[in-house]
């Protein structure tokens, strides 16, 4: 996809989203020019899976957009990650949360986070199993520099968008339970679900953040 097409597609996707639903442009392997084209089309949040790649793009693009960590965050990358990202969508353990909190304390930065739910219970994926989510959320409320603001899930990858619906529903159920639990320092605001082939289903099931890469930028090389 050329740059003008990316800009045009970005505008079309954003205009098609219901009010209150935000687009995270998944920019893995994309060039600064491609990301800038998406920004010209109205994109306000860039999502990256890898810190090193995000750092390179951040140096070129800067703070004209928000930056979300949407890939697994390795513990040895946390110190740099808290400097760069405006939200970490992939917290999946107390140990990782404590490390993020520790590094945020050093720089006096409040970090919005989402819990990553392994809604498909897949052994090869990061994320916490659904039945452990409430317990983990409660344990995060004492971490002064973190603000748990919602949940994120991917679900098993399938060519059939409809097959994702049960996993989105399961994650929404946890979101609702946490919303009603009224845990101190926790405000359930964001439900990040759905990618290029199934984000319409995710929105139907309550997502207000969708993470779109292929539909926006074209198929990765």
What are the extents of the domains in the chain?
3-217
Dihedral of alpha carbons 100, 105, 109, 113, sign: positive
Taking the C-alpha atoms of residue 120 and residue 156, their distance in angstroms, rounded to an integer, is: 6
**CB-based contact 15:35 (threshold 8 Å):** no
Question: Across-strand partners of 85?
Answer: none
What pLDDT is attached to residue 219?
83
What pLDDT is attached to residue 103?
98
What is this structure's pTM?
A: 0.96
**What does the angle CA 164 – CA 168 – CA 173 come to, to the nearest 5 degrees?**
150
**Full pLDDT tens readout for the chain, 221 residues:** 999 999 999 999 999 999 999 999 999 999 999 999 999 999 999 999 999 999 999 999 999 999 999 999 999 999 999 999 999 999 999 999 999 999 999 999 999 999 999 999 998 899 999 999 999 999 999 999 999 999 999 989 899 999 999 999 999 999 999 999 989 889 999 999 999 999 999 999 999 999 999 999 998 76
Lookup: tokens for 140? 């995060």
Q: Considering the domain 3-217 in this protein, what is its CATH number?
A: 3.20.20.10
**CB-based contact 130:171 (threshold 8 Å):** yes
Lookup: tokens for 166? 């049960």
What pLDDT is attached to residue 221?
64
- DSSP assignments along 161-216, one per residue: GGGGHHHHHHHHHHHHHHHHH--TTEEEEEEE---TTTHHHHHHTT-SEEEESHHH
Half-sphere exposure for 194 (CA within 13 Å, toward CB):
27
């Amino acid at each position: 996809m050329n740059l003008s097409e990316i800009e045009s597609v970005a505008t079309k996707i954003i205009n098609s989203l219901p009010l209150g639903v935000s687009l995270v442009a998944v920019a893995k392997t994309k060039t600064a020019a491609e990301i800038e084209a998406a920004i010209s089309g109205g994109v306000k949040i860039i999502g990256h899976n890898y810190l090193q790649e995000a750092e390179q793009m951040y140096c070129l693009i800067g703070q004209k957009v928000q930056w979300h960590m949407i890939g697994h965050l390795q513990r040895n990358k946390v110190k740099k990650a808290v400097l760069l990202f405006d939200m970490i969508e992939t917290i999946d353990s107390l140990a990782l949360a404590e490390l993020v909190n520790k590094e945020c304390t050093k720089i006096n930065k409040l970090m919005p986070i989402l819990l990553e739910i392994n809604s498909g219970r897949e052994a090869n994926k990061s994320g916490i199993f659904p039945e452990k989510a409430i317990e983990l959320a409660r344990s995060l409320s004492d971490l002064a520099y973190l603000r748990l603001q919602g949940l994120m899930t991917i679900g098993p990858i399938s060519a059939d968008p409809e097959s994702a619906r049960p996993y989105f529903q399961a994650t929404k159920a946890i979101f609702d339970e946490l919303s009603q639990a009224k845990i101190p320092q926790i405000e359930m605001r964001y439900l990040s679900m759905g990618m290029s082939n199934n984000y319409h289903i995710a929105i139907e099931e309550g997502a207000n953040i969708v993470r779109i890469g292929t539909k926006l930028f074209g198929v990765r090389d």
